[in-house]
Amino acid sequence: MDCAVIQGDLLAYHFAVAAAEERARIEAHLLECTTCLRAYLALKAHVERTDEAGKGPSEESRLRLRAAVEERFRPTPGRRLRRWLARPIPRYQSLAVAAAVILVAALAPAVSRQLGQRATADATGRVDTSRTTAESLSIY
Amino acid sequence: MDSDEILYARVKQGDVSAFDELYARHAPRLFAFLRSQVPSAADAEDILHEALLSTLESREVTFDRACFRTWLYRIARNAALNRARSRGRGDAALGNLPEEPPAPAADEQLAHAQRMHALDVAVSRLPGALADVYHLRSSGLSYEEIAEVLNIPLGTIKSRMHQMVGALRQELGTWTAQ
């Protein structure tokens, strides 16, 4: 296999635009030819810029950004409260709360009626302690 | 290992170590991508800073359709375009011309450096739409992610990838032949 032909196809191979047959042909060649394999690895490193060690963002820039993130997202009581209020509530919890509210609303009239009746009974059976005479005990 | 999206949520809870991990994962490649978009390293650092903070702060960032990396590159690319627009495209294009290859120690290194320099020159001559797919793909984004970042259909990305490789091959001629 002609190395020049293979190396001419390495870009298409790298960017995965080579046809399946062409890919298979290139891969078979790369397994056998160290020169072309080296050329491919060098091309890949260059295209992906992994051969540019030390050309990343500066340490000062990283620290500046880190400080900004820390400042922006540092937990404070106010932020904790806002986060707690904005937290997503699971559906089953919402359903349970709704069911409890409906139950209370449904039972409220009956309970209030019962409480009213008990209050009336208490009022009629109350001993009048303001009177000192035996009349105050007329109930008996 | 936590996914980007989990790290993102942890940063928003105030966990700076999660930010360190996100930065280590994405900053080097994003910076290299930005270097291809703006003329100076200082500009690339500024945009990196702005893009990461915006991605973390934005309320629009949700992960139902696009992943963290897609958002990050989309925001960074828009910031780079805005900066290039405000400074004038001429300056940016001038700044993006590849540097001369460094003096090599041996013949093989010389040949390699020349080939890579030729590739850089060919990439710098690509039309904007094709250069975009070259740089985003070189940053490790999938076709689907590139489509999301550029907001164009997946089929168009595939077609541009073919055009891009064709244009580079034509420009480079027999550069790879030894």
The total number of residues written for chain A in this structure:
140
* Partners of residue B139 in chain A, C-beta under 8 Å: 48
Measure A120 CA to nearest chain B CA, in Å. Answer: 57
Dist. CA A74–CA B13, nearest whole Å? 8
* Partners of residue B119 in chain A, C-beta under 8 Å: 43, 46-47
> Of B166, B15, B25, which Cα lies nearest the Cα of A73?
B15
Reported as a single tens digit per residue, the pLDDT across A54-80 is: 678 899 999 999 999 998 888 788 877
The ipTM estimated for the assembled molecules is 0.74
Contact: A4, B12; criterion CB under 8 Å? no
Is B176 an interface residue toward A (CB < 8 Å)?
A: yes
- pLDDT (tens, 9 = 90+) of chain B, 178 residues, equals 888 888 898 988 888 999 999 999 999 889 988 988 888 889 999 999 999 999 988 877 777 777 888 999 999 999 998 888 887 654 544 455 555 555 555 666 777 788 888 888 999 999 989 999 999 999 889 999 999 999 999 999 999 999 999 999 888 875 554 4
Q: Where are the alpha helices (DSSP H) in B36-88?
A: 41-57, 68-87
Q: Which residues contact B13 (CB under 8 A, 6 or more apart)?
A: A73, A75, A83
Is A48 an interface residue toward B (CB < 8 Å)?
A: yes
* pTM across the whole model: 0.68
Is B56 an interface residue toward A (CB < 8 Å)?
A: yes
How buried is residue A135: exposed, middle or buried, by Cβ count under 10 Å (0-12/13-18/19+)?
exposed
Reported as a single tens digit per residue, the pLDDT across A83-140 is: 777 777 777 888 898 999 999 999 998 888 888 888 777 666 665 566 665 565 555 5
CA distances from A58 to A55, A62, B133, B138 (A): 8, 6, 26, 21
Nearest CB to B138; choose among A8, A49, A72? A49
- Considering only residues 54 to 113 of chain A, which have any Cβ-Cβ distance to chain B shorter than 8 Å? 55-58, 61-62, 64-66, 68-70, 72-75, 79, 83
Percent of chain A surpassing pLDDT 70: 82
